[in-house]
Every structure is written in C-alpha cells, then in structure tokens.
Amino acid sequence: MHSISRRQFLQWSSALGGSVATATLLPLPSMAESKPSLPSKTYDHVKWAGCTINCGSKCPVRVFVKNGKIDHIESDNTGDDVYGSHQIRACLRGRSNRFRVYNPNRLLYPLKRVGKRGEGKFVRISWDEALESIATKMKEIKEKYGNEAILIPYATGTTGAIMNRCTSGPWMRLFSQFGGYLNYHNSYSTGQIANGLKHFYGTHVGSDIMQIEHAKLVVMFGNNPVETRMSGGGTGYAYKVALEKSGAKIIHIDPRYSDSLVGACDQWIPIVPGTDGALVAAMAYVMISENLHDEAFLKKYCIGFSADTLPEGAPKNGSYEDYVMGKGDDGIAKTPAWAETITQIPAQTIIDLAREIATTKPCYIAQGWGAQRHSNGEQAARAIAMLAIMSGNIGIEGTSTGGREHSSGWVEPAHLPFKNPIKDSVPCFLWTDAIVRGKEMKDITDGIRNTQQLKQNVKFILNTGGNCLLNQHSDIHATSKILEDESLCEFIVDVNVTRTSSNSFADIILPDATPLEQEDFVRSSAGYSNDMPYIIYSQKAIEPVGECMSVYDMCTKLAEKLGGESFKQSFTEGRTQVEWLEHLWNLKFKDKENMPSFAQMKEMGLYRLPQVKKSFIAHEKFIQNPEENPLKTPTGKIEIYSTTLAKMAQTWILKEGQKITPLPEFTEAKEGPLDPLRKTYPLQLFGYHYKGRTHSSFWESAAIREINPNELWMNPIDAKERGIQTGDDVLVFNGYGKILLKAKVTPKIMPHVTTCPQGGWYKNKNGIDVGGCINTLTNLEPTAIAKANPQHSILVEIEKYRG
C-alpha cells in the first residue's frame, strides 16, 4: 500500500485546491456577478473555467494566476449547502487540472515521427511544416481514395466544450467543408444500452435521479454515481440528497461493493457479471407464478408480454411469458433455482427480491453502463427494463425506466455549425475493421448505416482529444499491429495536450491548448446536472504554454493550407474563436428573458438558472395518454417483442455463437461465466470507472495517481488459492496479453470475479503491460446488435509476479 506523509498531504491538498475562499450566494435567477472573491494573498487575477473532461459532470473551477502562471485551482464558492442552490464543487480531478497544464509529458510543439509507427520516436517541427504535411496528405488521400477514406474516430477526452470538443467541433466543420469524412455511430459508453432500449422504448433515457426523493424502493443494477460522478455538478451528490429526502430502501445488484453502496445501501446482492438477464427472467417467473405482475399495464402499454399481445407474424409461443415459463423454443422454465446456478444469487433471494419489487410503488429501477458493456449487453439492458414495466413502475412520480438516469434539462449555446456531405457511417468500435476491410463491411454483417456497403478502407485518421486509438480500444496487441502497418492506414494525426500511448502511433502530433488556456463555453448537456441547470464560460486564465494552440486556430491555419484565403474565409466566416462564441450565444439567447447578454456571461463566468420545478419523469406523457404520445418504436408501444429485432434476426449475418432475439432473453456471453474457455482462464475480470481517472484522463497527474493506486481487487478465497496478499505484484493474463498490477485482497468483490480500474496507460515492457491497461486483455469481436465494445466480458488467470 502507498503511504504519504502529513507534509506531502498538505502540499497536495493546497495544490489541488485546499485553500478556502469566502462563499457568496448568487441570486436566482438574476444576473448578479459570480466573480470569485480574492483571498488575502495577491494574485494577478482569478478566472472562471470549466472541467471539460468526460466524467458526466461538468464543473466550474476558479483558476488563481500569479506572474503569468497558475498558482492553484479551487472549486465554486458561490451558492450554499442547500441542494438546488448548492456550490458546484469540483472533485479532486477537476481541481488537479494545473498538473495537466504543467505536466512533464505536456506537448509543447508540433512533432513528426522519425522511427517506425509505435516506437514513439519524434522530432520537433514548425507549425508550418506540420500543417503543410497534413494538408498535402489530405489532398492526396481525397484524390486517390475519396473522402470516405478519411475518419475522425470516436474519442472521449474533451467532450465538454463548444469549441475545444473532440466529438462535434472545429475539425468536423473543417473536414465537412473539405468534402466530408466517414461518420461513426454509437459510443464506447452506451452502444449496447442505446441500441437495446431503442428497440424497447425508442430511447434509452431514464428519469432524473432526483425522482428518488419520491420513491419507496430503489433498485440499482451496476450503477455507481457516487464514484463516477462525485462532484457537486454530478448525479452522485443528487443521489445522496434524494435518498435523504425519501428514506427509501436501497438495493444494489453489483459484483463489486462500490462507493455508492457505502452508507447508502440496505442490501447488496452480488451477481456474476453478464448474467443480469437470467436474474430478471427468474424474477419474472416468480411474478407470473404468483400473479404479482401488473397485467393491466402490460396489456395497455406493451407488445409481446403474453400471447394475446404478440404482433402479427410472431410465433404463437413467442411471448416473453412463454419464454419465462418454459413454453418457448428452449423449453426451459426460468425458475429461481435455474437462475441460481448462473447468477450465484440464492434462489430465495431472487424470490424475495421479485416479490418486493412487484409489491412496492413507487420503485425507482436503474442500471449503470457496466451491465450492458458485455458481449450480450443489449439483452441485459432490455431485460433490466422488464422489471420496471412488469411492476408498472414507469411514467409516474418516483419511478424510472430501468435505463440510466437522465437530467431534467440543460441550457447551452448553439453548437458550431457543419454538415458532413458523406452519409456513410460505421459503428465507432469497428474503426480498426474499417482500416483492414472497410470495402467489405456491410449493413447486415457489420451494422453499417446509410449505405449497404462502405466504399473505401480508412486511409487517413485525425484523432483529436482522445486515447481510443490504443489505450481505450480492445486487444491492444492486435490494434498495435494494425496501426503499425503504413500500407493500411497511410497517415495518422493526433491532437492532444500530452504524450499518450495512442499518439505514439501518429505521423504528426499537434499540441492542443487546455481549457485553461482558451475561452470557451462548457456544454452542460455533456454532464448530468440533474434538475439544477447552469452555464459556465471558461475565461482564459493563461497564455498557452510553449507553442500550444487551440483547435479552432489550428483549423483556421490548416484551412488556408487546404484552399487558400477563400477556403479559410468560408471556414471562419471572418470570426475569431471568441466571436464565434458570441455568435453562438446570441443565436440561442439574444434578448431572451432572464438570460444574460454575452458580455455579461463572459464577465460572470458562472450563471445559475433556477432549479427545475419538477424533475424529469421518463415516458410520463406516454403513460398518461399513449394514443396521443406514442413511443418512437414501430408500434408506438413498449416492444417487449421487438418487431425490428425479429426482422434483423432473419436477415443479419452474425458471427459464430452470436444471437439476435426479439425478446429480452438471457443469452450466454462470449468469454463470460458459461464459456468453456473458463476451464483455462477461471476468473472473470471487468473494469470499473473510479475516482482517480476519467477513462484515461488524469492518469498523467502524478499526485492523483499516487492517491488512487491502480489496484486489482481479488476476493480472499481466490487470493488464498494463489498465495496472493494485498500489496503483491500480480500478473493478470489470457490469450490476448498480460498486465501487471498491485493486488488488493477484499471481500468487496465476489468470489471468482476480479476487477481493476479502466484507463491505465498501456506500457509494454518485455511483453508485459506494466501500465495495467485492461484493454490489453479484451477482444475485438463486437456485440451482435450494436456492433459495440464487449470490454467487460473477459476471462483471465492471475498469479503472483516474481519478476
């Protein structure tokens, strides 16, 4: 275990925002200044900024600057301790952004590769040479292969801003005006749940987590808001407040005893990862057998629960009720005893849980995104939603949908406009396939959209603000080989603030400015502010270090290289970055009542809007009047039997062992608990989001890394069998690779399951990843429906490392 001295703690506490400024209350909804007060120490200035990293919270911070350098960062000091007007306190990660600015691995200048791809050998070049090289290659690729060969892949590092945004920012505008690029759909976060519940409800959103204040029972599947969104701007704080108000009973179903359970959980039910569908089927068996399900609700609002509600063309024994009671094609009754052997949850616990959910209203049922990130994840997501509708706990106060919690609304400026002329779209997880066999990829084999087949292999990649080229993708060794081969993808550009494991594979690296070095709006829709909306204007605190440059300025200069002054003018429309921000603000809010002017917003930095009077209830209008407010499904109802998936099951060509079923059945996961491969690799491993990182962001902050060590959790039973104790170095391995981690022996993880934080940076040393990146151990085969990343379906063995 790591230890720190009191002196170190005080130094780090101060550096990460330990000093306290006087709190001031910002009137609502007036436009009173929220300018931070200065403490007694003299500073050049104190600026508002926002933490734009992709944790799901978007929090304001105050940046204290002296002699042109950031002295330290503190959190919001406006508002009070009453929820709804509370201080939006950034977590330790957000307050550690200074370490990202002054990191030893900070990119200061453009770099050009001089060794083989992946070797990490680069030399400094000028901006002119870097942009000229990129422009020349873009023109060459366009001429030789067409714009479909150009890809800006999925990334998650900077999703929270308007201009400094990796998902829909200046690069997309520039490349669209250049003739377009290959689109992607889905996300690494929500591919399975978004697609699964789209075929169930038409959308995957749940109710605001503040609806818990009206609930009598809360059931969470793999949901950990306290740890993943732990700031004042996230759902973690709202969750705690809602629980205090309601006094509801809390049940968490999770293989791991997370921070969300500590002090706020009445019952922890450990479950084998990837078996949620089996648990739900067994609970449905109890509800049906004891006539506890809400039959009137199911008949009025749903398609396919019972034989008399099946759509035309469905088999007579094709209802969910038939499947559960053993009258379906498999002939297996989904009894609690059947589920116990799969889930390792005692049959009596399953019976008791089914009865409690069925007889308690209102009951708030939600799932995190971990349960769906398996090779059978779409089925798990749909199955969990079954509990909400079988018990009639949907569309009314104190309930949700079984999906992930949502926000009640947000307010933000318009976004930078662009229109990509290329419509072809690839599932974001299959970008490596698009490099190797793009022209072979089809809609019915690979989930390609807006065309039946891709026109070209990917030959040019611009990776901006993310670490998914390697670190966050699957099967790192296989991915490395694809990226190393210059005959496949001919040119790779990486834009980031630091050297990463991903940009070692770039041909050109461009040094980005951090959110503290430019002006921007923080996108509240990229976070979960729940029922307390606010807007952040990031005021430029310091000049960019070295030769770092904002993405907008990079694109402006590249536009001129691509097409001269006229193309540059078309891209910028004659506006600077700040002038664009003013334009986008005025498009949305000019002369709007209770909204400040751009000049006022720019000066204030943080503006709070009134708390929403009624937090969002998912599908409330549909439940009140289903005829006038149909769902966005083919039938307008909740499709337990999905008509779309039934058609896909007949027409799509799947990989061996994959299955698409119109019902939310339990299907076995590849590399899951029932896979025969478990005889060789007997432990299930999954990754979790934890306090020390947001995906792979903040790994580069040494102080954060020291406080939050990269540990592998092992149950004492499994550790004893292998002679492993807390603090031991352990080798975790399977057929894909090996990683080295420190062991933490704890009963907080169930037997035969092990877990470690995701996002550790890959670092190969003699064939072992000493950075502890879990994706060294994951596979590249996508899920059946969404073609998404199954990165929680992993089988491994573990042994004590002896060097």
The rounded distance, in Å, linking the Cα atoms of 532 and 530 is 6
Q: How far is CA 156 from each of CA 267, 368, 428, 734, rounded to the nearest angstrom?
A: 34, 18, 12, 27
pLDDT of residue 35: 52
What token pair was written down for 221? 């599947």
- Predicted confidence (pLDDT) per residue in 73-124, tens digit: 999 998 888 888 888 888 888 888 899 999 999 999 999 999 999 999 999 9
Q: Which residues contact 40 (CB under 8 A, 6 or more apart)?
A: none
The CA-to-CA distance between both ends of the chain, in Å, stands at 19
Find residue 464's DSSP bridge partners. 495
- Domain borders along the chain are 111-182+422-513+548-589, 192-408+620-651, 676-800
Q: Which CATH architecture has domain 192-408+620-651?
A: 3-Layer(aba) Sandwich (3.40)
Note the CATH number of domain 111-182+422-513+548-589: 3.40.50.740
- Predicted confidence (pLDDT) per residue in 357-409, tens digit: 999 999 999 999 999 999 999 999 999 999 999 999 999 999 999 999 998 97
> For the stretch 536-552, what's the b/e string if a residue is b when 16 or more beta carbons lie within 10 angstroms of its beta carbon?
bbbbbbbebbeebbbbb
* 676-800 maps to CATH 2.40.40.20: yes
Domains 111-182+422-513+548-589 and 676-800 share a fold: no
pLDDT of residue 7: 32
Nearest to 255, CA basis, from 222, 220, 282, 219: 222
Percent of the chain with pLDDT over 70: 95
pLDDT of residue 743: 98
The rounded distance, in Å, linking the Cα atoms of 89 and 480 is 39
- Predicted confidence (pLDDT) per residue in 29-78, tens digit: 333 344 555 556 789 999 999 888 888 788 899 999 999 999 999 999 98
The rounded distance, in Å, linking the Cα atoms of 447 and 433 is 12
